[in-house]
Structure 1
């Protein structure tokens, strides 16, 4: 790994940085507004206490409240709490990133071991302003990530996942999918950041969620994630192409991962598509031919 002084980064203007964050972290549909209880119906005191914290957008206290009360609350209640928390965290992300986007702070992060690369919580730069923001990021349930030498916060869904067993099944399934991105973004710098096997596994999970839960508040977000996964399964990325530019042959590791998934016998919509894709590839000697191009172009999720 290069030493701190040898690192270079691509400067990203503040407005572009916010757009980049949105593209990297995705979006979440806002939680439905909780209506006031009708006259004569007693309001749950625990819910009322959480609502007060939510109204103040106090993320740290919302987290503390959930972690203290989740075990003694219903799955439906904990799900509502986490959805509300997720909405508040998403609303705060642009402001946090904008504060962190100052060049002096980005430089401090860039030149600190334990932050560049795999971020180790608790690491500090020595820059007072940067370290204050790092402490806020940790306290409020975010993690620090980077791309092209630009640092940005994102929601720590692994923390949410610790409460998954106390939520409804569909929200727990959603949290498992979102936690994938906390472990590793799917792509960075036009490269594939996970193995082809992991890519296929994520696409399978996302596909199954969309069939099982077509109308949840999280469906649109999972659909966006699935569209990205499916596109990469069909095309690869600019820096990690599915087909060699010279020989036009499919990547051997991708081919093995696709065949392995097909052999599972899954009847998900994703695996059915993958089964047909591998069949067309076999018929064309594993090369990118016009017929293979036609197959994938028709199924390109990013083309209407």
Structure 2
């Protein structure tokens, strides 16, 4: 249970620590083809096309300049949301990914401000279920808190809590505002990360999304990797896939797949795995093939965690 028995805070850190690539995204040929004007005629006159390209380049270059300075991150977020429609899909994609890189790079510095004892104490009294940074701004008269909350929100973060601690995460749901302007693999990536942000997989060392949702997310991540194997964010999604593959066989500290004392499999966990295999096609899914094998070895061992079952899941998850 070493790799998959992390606390909720550590689990959140795992999501936050998924490595970032800084190169340009792979632009698929079909997505890079310029669109013809209605009626099949030329898109624009050469001069107008040149002016449009120059303007798009100017917008893109300004975004890149803003991202060079952490102090201008909030300005970069606002600038992108206001102007992204004026650039090409490729440029829009670079803007979004570079912004994500910057938000990741500056996250620790922002969280250091929130981890201060006086801020944590005030948040404990102030924050209620359903609150976000905007609602917290309206609930306090503390000017320094208002400034802190507004700065974090405007810089692309949202507040979350686990094990009595309050901390910031990237506000992926906010990227839905610009989703329409990026290329297809990054559209899908934004959707995956939006789901992870709205419903984190773990809370207080327990699986918070349920066994069935864990299998669905594993399959969604696997589908992304099949559709976009060269995506700039394939590495991040692969990390999530491996996470859910491990959760499917190990569980978490407070939601173990096997009872610590009896070594008996969790009936709900097993049922979720069985349903996933029955609904899907193990011949077309590496994930389902591994889960099917896991269920078979479970059946052979009367649903008990035996050395044979342990050996299988270690090999299947690469946790040996």
Return the TM-score normalized by structure 2.
0.78
Matching of residue 119 in structure 1 with residue 126 in structure 2: no
In the alignment, which residue of structure 2 is the partner of 1:79? 93
Q: Deviations over 1:19-59 (max 9, x none)?
A: 9974352234242289xxxxxx9682221222232233422
Among 39, 48, 68, the residue aligned to 1:55: 68
Report the alpha carbon displacement of residue 93 of structure 1 after superposing the two structures with TM: 0.6
Moved more, 231-240 or 124-133: 124-133
Q: Any gaps of 5 or more consecutive residues in structure 2?
A: 1-8, 26-52
In the alignment of these two chains, the number of paired residues is 278
Matching of residue 170 in structure 1 with residue 185 in structure 2: yes
Report the alpha carbon displacement of residue 169 of structure 1 after superposing the two structures with TM: 1.1
Among 201, 207, 218, the residue aligned to 1:186: 201
Report the alpha carbon displacement of residue 145 of structure 1 after superposing the two structures with TM: 0.9
Pairwise CA RMSD: 2.5
Q: Deviations over 1:112-156 (max 9, x none)?
A: 242xx4433422444443332111122222110122111111101
Report the alpha carbon displacement of residue 221 of structure 1 after superposing the two structures with TM: 1.8
Q: Contact 1:227 / 1:301 at 8 angstroms: preserved in 2?
A: no
Matching of residue 44 in structure 1 with residue 33 in structure 2: no
Q: Any gaps of 5 or more consecutive residues in structure 1?
A: 1-16, 35-40
In the alignment, which residue of structure 1 is the partner of 2:33? none
Matching of residue 294 in structure 1 with residue 299 in structure 2: no
Q: Residues of 2 paired with 1:243 and 1:125: CA distance?
A: 45
Of the two, which has the highest radius of gyration?
A: 2
Q: Residues of 1 paired with 2:11 and 2:144: CA distance?
A: 22
Q: Residues of 1 paired with 2:154 and 2:74: CA distance?
A: 6
Matching of residue 264 in structure 1 with residue 279 in structure 2: yes
Q: Describe the SS at the equivalent of 2:122.
A: helix
Return the TM-score normalized by structure 1.
0.82
Q: Contact 2:207 / 2:255 at 8 angstroms: preserved in 1?
A: yes
Q: Residues of 2 paired with 1:253 and 1:126: CA distance?
A: 47
